[in-house]
Amino acid sequence: MINTIVTTDRKNHSDSLKLAQMAAERLGIKLVKRNREPMENLREMYGVDNVLVAKRGSFTLDTPEGELFFHPNMSQLRIKNIRMGEGDHMANALDLQEGMTVLDCTLGFGADSIVASFVVGEGGQVIGLEASPLIAFITSEGMKKFLATNYELHSAIKRVQVINADYNEYLQTLPDNSVDVVYFDPMFRHPLRDSHNINPLRSVADHRPLELTAVNEAKRVARHRVVMKENSRSLEFARLGFNEIAGGKHSKVHYGVIRL
């Protein structure tokens, strides 16, 4: 059960209403009239934490901690850096090459998947799994409608396949050696102090830690590498058998690598 309702912007445009109706059907949540009500009032009236708002052809999730909506964020700058030959720590850790198939088990709003999609190119494939129905919905719809400023970013976004699924279950359905790379970016066990901008995401994200059973499944499924992103000081790397650590020397984020 998703603790969320869906409504429109204050002006109740007909296009926004159609979007809200589609979201209500897809997510199985209640559609309510906005009537210019503030978000705090709607949350109290309907006893929910979150309000999904359809407006101007897109969706925003209003949470008590702030708003969530799809945007490529840092992926645009990271792609620019790659094009200029400066590289990318995640792409290097995954050892991405053109034509590879990447399974991103923790999609979120897709920044890492977008970068991976750019690197593997049109001949490659990036599948993004997201356990939260709300995040998967907002990301999927946002990727469909986002108008990128350049062809490379536009193409990279459109090639990402979004699936609402729990990676623990999804990995078990895949044949041995069926993708090149499996990537995990779970919610950090010890969040970085300066990462306040993702606080709204924390309220609806999957907080379960990555378990060794999933890592073993990933090793069975991947042909090339299994990679996990975590706080650079995290003990999760050792606990889960990621003995090779990659990333910037002074970076607060590192990547655990298992070569296959």
What's the pLDDT score for residue 78?
95
Please give the pLDDT value at position 249.
Answer: 81
Regions of the chain with pLDDT less than 50: 192-193, 195-196
Q: Within this chain, do residues 169 and 100 fall inside the same structural domain, yes or no?
A: yes
Instruction: Tell me what pLDDT residue 10 has.
Output: 84
Domain that holds residue 210: 75-259
Is 238 part of a structural domain of the chain?
yes
Instruction: Identify whether residues 60 and 79 lie together within a single domain.
Output: no
pLDDT of residue 1: 52
Q: What is the pLDDT of residue 197?
A: 53
Residue 166, in any domain of the structure: yes
Is 69 within a domain?
Answer: no
Indicate if 94 and 182 belong to the same structural domain: yes
Q: Kindly tell me the burial class for residue 85, based on how many C-beta atoms sit within 10 Å of its own C-beta (0-12, 13-18, 19 or more).
A: exposed
Residue 201's pLDDT is what? 64
Total-model pTM:
0.92
Q: Which two tokens stand for residue 54?
A: 């359809």
Q: Indicate if 146 and 30 belong to the same structural domain.
A: no
* Predicted local distance difference test score (pLDDT) of residue 222: 98
Based on the structure, what is the number of domains in the chain?
Answer: 2
So what's the pLDDT on residue 181?
Answer: 98
Q: Given this model, what pLDDT does residue 202 score? A: 61
User: Which two structure tokens, joined as six digits, stand for 250?
Assistant: 């002074």
Give pLDDT, residue 200.
59
The per-residue pLDDT for 196 is: 47
φ/ψ bin of 46: left (φ > 0), alpha (ψ from -120 to 50), beta (otherwise): alpha
Other beta carbons within 10 angstroms of residue 172's beta carbon come to 12
Task: Let me know whether 197 and 249 are in one domain.
Answer: yes
In terms of domains, do 138 and 243 share one? yes
The reply to whether 49 falls in a domain is: yes
Q: Cα–Cα distance between 110 and 218 in angstroms, integer?
A: 20
Considering the domain architecture, whether residues 109 and 60 belong to the same structural domain is answered as no
